[in-house]
Amino acid sequence: MEDLLSIRSLSLVLLLTGIGLAFSHIRLSGWILGWILLSGALLLQGFRSMLSYVAERGGVDAATYTTANEWMGLGFSLLIVASMHMMREVFARSRLATESLRMLSAAANDAVIVMDNKATIIVWNQAAQRIFGYSKQEAHGKTLHELVVPERYRAAFETLFVQFGSDGRESVSSTPTELAGLRKDGTEIVTEYSMSRVTIDGKWHAIYIVRDVTARKHAEEENRERTAALEMLSAKMLSSDEMEKKKLAFGLHEGLAQTLVTVKMRVERKLQQLAANNAQDESLASIVPLLQSAIKNVETIATGLRPASLDELGLLRTLGGFCREFQRLHPAITIAEEITLQEEDVPAQLKIVIYRIVASALTNIARYENTDQIELALRLQGGVITLAIDDSSQDSRYAAPAGRVADSDLQMRFAEAQERTTLSGGNFTIARNKAGGVMLRASWNV
């Protein structure tokens, strides 16, 4: 009888344990639940054997034995059926997951490699075979870093893998990471990889997705080299163009303009001689205004090519003269100058660049923008020369409507300023302020 009470007590404990697990936050895997059900069935069968042993010795009456034995037999059958059903579900889910992974990895253009917590390869898809040259049989059971990572990176990759396993992160990073890869034939390639973490049968595994970007990197390098060559050629052409303009401006200013001045002086002297003799020559007198106009036009053209004051007086005085002439031509626009650096602070090769940028930018603002004030600042701070040109009108009548000009159009309008800044080794930005005015920035490290 005592044995029967012990059986009942143990059964009650198992029942309460099951109820507790059902209502707790503990989530058990299908494998564990299946084994619990099977163990319960075997334990119940053991209880039936003990009950039969007790009944044979008269420890329990026949009616009680029959009832208990029938209920235990029914419970045993139910537990066996439930455990088999759970195991079948587990196997079915496992087969579905395996088949899904196989189909996805087979269809993927990127290499899909699954490793266990010891970095041993357990899944190696067709893309991995194509990228690295190893067959599935050759890759299985090998560690990834010894198989496809160049020797100089293996220690770092192994350390990263161990850290990845210990810190519980779901992925190494949100964006693919670039790493050199090693093919079977010894060729190094450039890869981008991402690594994520998954738990299988209670053990963490790493899914390593790799893309071969060697061709793309080569194309990018070729584009960079081509761009650098074009920039160098453009810089040389720009420098050559400035030299030609300088020569032509000098020739106009010192040659043609001086020749016209000499002719004008001789004509004026001749007119003075005629006047002393009380004689007049109207045709000769009419030449003087024409010569004066021609001299002015030649000087204007020469200044447009390259202002002589840039070489004679320097950048700062030349900018001051340009701003005064600009305001004379555009009386509705005021220029507020803030120049805090000295003439010697500006390298010789940058002087013509800065002058050209200021001239083209102010001309474009006057032509396309609706403003009554422009701020021009030239500063030196921390070894950086900064040129700032702002359409800073505060009058609402001049405010530009928001979104009036697309960014691409704005870039096109000030393309000359951007090109000169970039080719001279500087950085260029252009944007609109809240009022819709233009904000131009060019900077150079000196």
Q: What is the pLDDT of residues 335-386, one digit of tens each?
A: 999 999 999 999 888 888 898 889 889 988 888 888 888 999 999 998 999 9
Domain membership of residue 217 (yes or no) is no
| Cα–Cα dist 383/169, whole Å | 44
Q: What is the pLDDT of residues 95-120, one digit of tens each?
A: 555 555 555 555 457 888 888 888 88
Average of per-residue pLDDT across 121-128: 87
**Residue-level length of the chain:** 446
Per-residue confidence (pLDDT) for residue 363, from 0 to 100: 87
Q: Looking at 24-33, 34-43, 52-61, 435-444, which range is the least confident one?
A: 24-33
Per-residue confidence (pLDDT) for residue 378, from 0 to 100: 93
Residue 152 and residue 249 in one domain: no
| Cα–Cα dist 114/97, whole Å | 13
Domain membership of residue 219 (yes or no) is no
- Of 105, 92, 167, 212, nearest to 114 by C-alpha is 105
Of 177, 212, 247, which closes a domain? Answer: 212
Per-residue confidence (pLDDT) for residue 178, from 0 to 100: 83
pLDDT range class, residue 281, cuts 50, 70, 90:
low
Domain membership of residue 332 (yes or no) is yes
Per-residue confidence (pLDDT) for residue 344, from 0 to 100: 92
| Cα–Cα dist 186/134, whole Å | 12
Per-residue confidence (pLDDT) for residue 22, from 0 to 100: 47
Per-residue confidence (pLDDT) for residue 403, from 0 to 100: 45
Per-residue confidence (pLDDT) for residue 109, from 0 to 100: 72
Name beta bridge partners: 378. Answer: 339, 387
pLDDT range class, residue 427, cuts 50, 70, 90:
very high
Residue 7 and residue 119 in one domain: no
pLDDT at 391 over 80: yes
Average of per-residue pLDDT across 301-310: 69
Q: Looking at 299-308, 363-372, 393-402, which range is the least confident one?
A: 393-402
CATH number at residue 168: 3.30.450.20
**Structure tokens belonging to residue 120:** 């041993």
Residue 333 and residue 281 in one domain: no
**Structure tokens belonging to residue 294:** 């021609």
| Cα–Cα dist 326/335, whole Å | 9
Residue 343 and residue 293 in one domain: no
**207 against 240, higher pLDDT:** 207
**280 against 21, higher pLDDT:** 280
Cα 127 to Cα 99, 109, 198: the distances in Å are 17, 6, 21
**111 against 78, higher pLDDT:** 111
Do 50 and 3 meet the contact criterion of CB atoms below 8 Å apart?
yes
- Which structural domain, as residue segments, surrounds residue 275? 228-306
Residue type at 121 in one-letter notation: I
Q: What is the pTM of this model?
A: 0.46
Domain membership of residue 198 (yes or no) is yes
Average of per-residue pLDDT across 135-163: 86
Per-residue confidence (pLDDT) for residue 219, from 0 to 100: 85
Per-residue confidence (pLDDT) for residue 244, from 0 to 100: 66
pLDDT range class, residue 402, cuts 50, 70, 90:
very low
What mean pLDDT is reported for the chain?
75
Residue 204 and residue 232 in one domain: no
Q: Per the structure, how many domains does the chain have? A: 4
Q: Looking at 92-96, 254-258, 321-325, which range is the least confident one?
A: 92-96
| Cα–Cα dist 130/50, whole Å | 63
Domain membership of residue 420 (yes or no) is yes
**375 against 93, higher pLDDT:** 375
pLDDT at 93 over 90: no
Q: Looking at 260-274, 329-343, 411-425, which range is the least confident one?
A: 260-274
SS3 of residue 313 by DSSP: coil
Domain membership of residue 400 (yes or no) is yes
Of 306, 325, 348, which closes a domain? Answer: 306
Residue 320 and residue 283 in one domain: no
Average of per-residue pLDDT across 274-302: 71
**20 against 193, higher pLDDT:** 193
Of 306, 331, 353, which closes a domain? Answer: 306
Per-residue confidence (pLDDT) for residue 9, from 0 to 100: 59
Average of per-residue pLDDT across 389-416: 68
Residue 6 and residue 92 in one domain: yes
Residue 145 and residue 191 in one domain: yes
Residue 79 and residue 114 in one domain: no
pLDDT at 3 over 70: no
| Cα–Cα dist 316/340, whole Å | 10
Residue 90 and residue 34 in one domain: yes
Average of per-residue pLDDT across 19-26: 49
Domain membership of residue 223 (yes or no) is no
Domain membership of residue 386 (yes or no) is yes
Residue 399 and residue 370 in one domain: yes
pLDDT at 322 over 60: yes
Per-residue confidence (pLDDT) for residue 27, from 0 to 100: 45
Residue 441 and residue 341 in one domain: yes
